[in-house]
Structure 1
């Protein structure tokens, strides 16, 4: 689907802006015939696995910028993931290409955007500032989940809490990777040799985005470290509980071995020496108990119980 976009209250664009998602064969033909986009460029913009980067094509005089944005958990993925939004500039036309999952980000930006945008580069940077803040929203949500899980794990550790903690760790890995690559791409834009020549206003906007991404980078780093420590502590507690349980079972299995040996030996259907009295079972039972008590005392004395 190709939608021509405008900002509310701004009608004197010096450029055209088309928002594209759910590309089908008809849309591709329109891009090729109406906008003269090459097959190679269309392959780039339809690739869902493109990593954040900037590329200038000197042959077609076009600029392609790829930027990752966070995707909230769904029924298919119960942790945060990321998907790219692509910005293609050809002459005075800007194309934003993304999936339906990120359409609401573009629409929210369009409704709240500053009207003082005069070029497609300023529009790109304005969108980038808007979508970058979604990383901070995602990180704040993950931090809230982590605080709740930390409180739960301070008591009795349940498998459900550990699974949720694992999902938080997964989410942080995805977000951390995308934030890092986004930052690398933005810093490369500061190099005028990259092909995207910016004026002073555009450079200031780029600097603002870099500051936002750096803040997100620091946040995700801190949350990662805290989450890892919580995970390590929980694993240590679980291992210690398991050791205590195994120690308890081992000690009592040894204690219960004593009456098993005694009853097995004296339960043989043959004559045995020494005992020839109907009350012999009492002496055997008392002797077994004495041996068990002695063994239990030995275990406690040696801190084995």
Structure 2
């Protein structure tokens, strides 16, 4: 899908034609759309296809007529009715007259620009636009990291009383997401440092300050991801032991109950033998006597086991 946006006097507007100073947003474009943009803007089609590969690495490539900036952005997908956090590539291409973004899917990183919710955003100020996208990307990382942290806290509460593996598997899934985030953020950090030294993209004083803010925000996201990853790793290991211990407690309780219930069963089996000489066998109150004795012994054994904290 191709969408074209341009800053007007009354804000950002969606337009039909490519013109100087516009922003071309490609979302999961078809081969035909890629060829069209390649011919119109004189960009190699391989560079336009690059962000459509989920395994593409973050980098900067400088050509004669344009510069390609490829970074990883956070997103989530539904898996087994649960949100799974991953990263996908986003390409930003600065050509002579336009700026182009290419991504596999709609993302909140770009959506806020399309909706005009970003202050001081102009499609013709390409350098500032790039930095604003990168700053928004780091902010979305931080937002998703806080969501992951809250989810891990909710799962921990369930794990206190759980003997199942489902919550533990959820923690492992979140831990995997943090690994993706940490790897992508570190790759983005390299891109930002190269961007700081890149002379092909014009930088003004206020843009340099914004780039430094982006680098700081990205470093903060890396630190948060590392902290949460460390916490999740130790929590997962601890609760794996807790689940095993909970299972042992349940087994101990069941074994104790089995011992207590085996006493009246054993006594009843003795007195139920069809042989002569059974005590109280001819007594009309024999059943009551056996029941009372059985109950008394069972109660005594249960009391002893309870005193030893075996229940």
- In the other structure, the counterpart of 2:15 is none
- In the other structure, the counterpart of 1:304 is 310
Task: Map Cα deviations across residues 190-229 of structure 1 (whole Å, 9 max, x no partner).
Answer: 455xx85664635443322110111222233334445556
| Cα displacement (A) at 1:129 | 1.4
Partner Cα separation in structure 1 for residue 30 and residue 123 of structure 2: 31
Q: Which one of the candidate residues 28, 31, 43 is aligned to 2:49?
A: 43
Structure 1 unmatched ranges of 5 or more:
none
1:1-305 matches, within 5 Å, as 1-9=1-9, 17-56=23-62, 62-71=66-75, 78-91=83-96, 93-102=98-107, 105-109=109-113, 111=116, 112-114=118-120, 120-145=126-151, 153=158, 162=167, 166=171, 169=175, 171-190=177-196, 199=203, 201=205, 202-227=207-232, 238-272=243-277, 277-278=282-283, 279-282=285-288, 284-300=290-306, 302-305=308-311
Preserved contact between residue 67 and residue 94 of structure 2 (Cα < 8 Å):
yes
Preserved contact between residue 92 and residue 120 of structure 1 (Cα < 8 Å):
no
Q: TM-score, normalised by structure 2?
A: 0.73
RMSD: 4.1
Partner Cα separation in structure 2 for residue 116 and residue 135 of structure 1: 23
Task: Map Cα deviations across residues 130-156 of structure 1 (whole Å, 9 max, x no partner).
Answer: 232222333344445556666x55986
Q: Give the secondary structure class of the aligned counterpart of 2:94.
A: strand
Q: TM-score, normalised by structure 1?
A: 0.74
Q: Give the secondary structure class of the aligned counterpart of 1:250.
A: helix
| Cα displacement (A) at 1:69 | 2.2
Partner Cα separation in structure 2 for residue 123 and residue 261 of structure 1: 83
Total equivalences in the alignment = 298
Indicate how the Cα distance of structure 1 residues 255 and 147 shifts in structure 2: closer, same or farther if over 3 A, else same: closer
